[in-house]
């Protein structure tokens, strides 16, 4: 245990709060606090600072982490996180090394333009750009819905989790995709219920979960007969939201949650196996 005799009272009281003092010093400070109003006020001030700081530091955990860094750690080398940052509306201006990035981006755009021109000019296959555009639109709309619904406290879902069977029947007939509600309790997600969304005039099912920190994670899916079957899980970051999408059995799926959640890919793989 620490010896703090002779040091400033605020330092001693701070150690008192943390239980770092020996019994004798603790007893001494207990007696002081019982008789000295100023000492009590100082203790309250220290405690108020602790509580305020705790709340503020909690918020730091919700900042998005660099996606490329997550990938690099998961997969090993081969990706340079410095050139692939999380795209977020809240990102600061990044002054360092901006010109090389602009030149590189311009070069890529020039190349893409050339490739796109060749593709369009030869008119042999425009399905891929169209699919990519559709994918963008679908994720954008999911992101907008998620921003709105995830903030709803009392009306988070249309049909609550208790009516699981009803949700499966209702959404399967509405969306045209047969599914089971994945149980993700083992991954720290509690099923809250479901919603029916509309994207590009087509119905989209949304299964809503809440994680241990109260963050909302949702699985959205729609019928998409033209979607090529693929076992790939594609990770995307849009601002403060992360997405992992996949195609299966004539349907498109995407799991959406905070981009700071490093487990989205794992959740997507678990959900894909269970849905």
Judged by the rule CB under 8 A, the positions of this chain that interact with other proteins are 2, 4, 7-8, 10-11, 13-15, 18, 20, 45-46, 48-50, 52-63, 65-66, 69-70, 72-74, 81-82, 85, 88, 90-94, 96, 260, 262-263
Q: Nearer Cβ to other proteins, position 67 or 251?
A: 67
Q: Nearer Cβ to other proteins, position 193 or 257?
A: 257
- Are the beta carbons of 14 and 46 closer than 8 angstroms? yes
CB 269 to other proteins: min, Å: 13
Q: Nearer Cβ to other proteins, position 73 or 226?
A: 73
CB 100 to other proteins: min, Å: 15
CB 22 to other proteins: min, Å: 13
Q: Nearer Cβ to other proteins, position 21 or 194?
A: 21
End-to-end CA distance of the chain: 54
Torsion over CA: 20, 25, 27, 30 (sign): negative
CB 103 to other proteins: min, Å: 20
Q: Nearer Cβ to other proteins, position 72 or 163?
A: 72
CA distance 72 to 170: 41
User: Could you give the angle at the alpha carbon of 255 between the alpha carbons of 133 and 57, nearest 5°?
Assistant: 115
- Are the beta carbons of 247 and 233 closer than 8 angstroms? no
Residue (of 17, 20, 48, 22) closest to 33 by Cα position: 17
β-sheet with 216-223: strand ranges across:
159-160, 190-199, 202-210, 216-223, 251-258, 241-248, 230-238
CB 30 to other proteins: min, Å: 18
């Amino acid at each position: 245990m620490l010896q703090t005799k002779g040091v400033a009272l605020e330092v001693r009281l701070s150690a008192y709060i943390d239980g770092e003092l020996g019994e004798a010093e603790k007893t001494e400070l207990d007696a002081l606090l019982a008789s000295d109003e100023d000492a009590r006020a100082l203790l309250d001030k220290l405690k108020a600072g602790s509580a305020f700081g705790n709340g503020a530091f909690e918020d730091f955990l919700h900042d998005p982490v660099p996606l490329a860094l997550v990938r690099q750690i998961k997969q090993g080398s081969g990706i340079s996180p410095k050139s692939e940052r999380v795209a977020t509306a809240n990102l600061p201006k990044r002054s360092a090394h901006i010109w090389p990035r602009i030149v590189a981006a311009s070069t890529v755009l020039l190349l893409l333009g050339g490739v796109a021109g060749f593709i369009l000019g030869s008119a042999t296959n425009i399905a891929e750009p169209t699919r990519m555009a559709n994918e963008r639109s679908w994720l954008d709309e999911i992101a907008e819905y998620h921003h709105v619904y995830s903030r709803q406290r009392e009306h988070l879902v249309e049909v609550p989790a208790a009516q699981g069977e009803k949700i499966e029947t209702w959404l399967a007939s509405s969306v045209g995709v047969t599914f089971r509600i994945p149980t993700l309790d083992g991954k720290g997600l509690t099923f809250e219920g479901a919603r029916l969304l509309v994207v590009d005039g087509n119905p989209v099912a949304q299964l809503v979960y809440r994680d241990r920190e109260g963050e909302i994670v949702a699985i959205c899916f729609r019928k998409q007969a033209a979607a090529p079957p693929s076992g790939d899980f594609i990770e995307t970051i849009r601002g403060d939201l992360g997405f992992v999408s996949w195609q299966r059995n004539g349907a498109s799926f995407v799991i959406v949650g905070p981009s700071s959640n490093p487990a989205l890919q794992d959740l997507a793989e678990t959900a894909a196996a269970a849905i």
